[in-house]
Amino acid sequence: MSVVLIVEDNELNRDMLTRRLERKDFTVFSVGDGQQALDFIADQPPDIVLLDMDLPVLDGWSTCTALRNQPATANLPVIALTAHAMSDDKQKALDAGCDDYTTKPIDFPLLLAKIEALLAGC
């Protein structure tokens, strides 16, 4: 069973994603900001991270960059989740080190396919 960390400051979005992923047999943890994500990952690395980019304390771009700069998490799969749908926003997330990108509102079947593809590549 794969472990997913959801990094999302909106509690409703966290709860919805958690419920849907648990129904697909994922073990799910969630935190509300980038610093909490880095702290969590240092103690209990997940198999994949779903990372909102607009976060308090430490934003998603900085969080992903920090993960990529640490040998232990340099290859941890990260999918950016954002309400920003502009092409330069996607490129900014990929440049920060995200492996993939999806916009909100989340198309769950598409997100699930991205998760499964990244996990299969690990």
In this prediction, residue 91 carries a pLDDT of 85
Domain at 81, CATH number? 3.40.50.2300
In this prediction, residue 3 carries a pLDDT of 98
Question: How would you write the pLDDT of the chain (122 residues) with one tens digit per residue?
Answer: 899 999 999 999 999 999 999 999 999 999 999 999 999 999 999 999 999 999 999 999 999 999 999 999 999 999 999 887 666 878 888 899 999 999 989 999 999 999 999 999 85
- Domains contained in the chain, number: 1
In this prediction, residue 43 carries a pLDDT of 96
Lookup: tokens for 113: 């396919």
Lookup: tokens for 10: 């909106």
Q: How far apart are CA 15 and CA 23, in angstroms?
A: 12
Which residues form the domain of 67? 3-120
Other residues' Cβ atoms within 10 Å of the Cβ of residue 23: 8
**Distance, C-alpha 90 to centroid of its chain:** 14
Nearest alpha-carbon partner for 83 in 32, 8, 29, 4: 8
In this prediction, residue 75 carries a pLDDT of 96
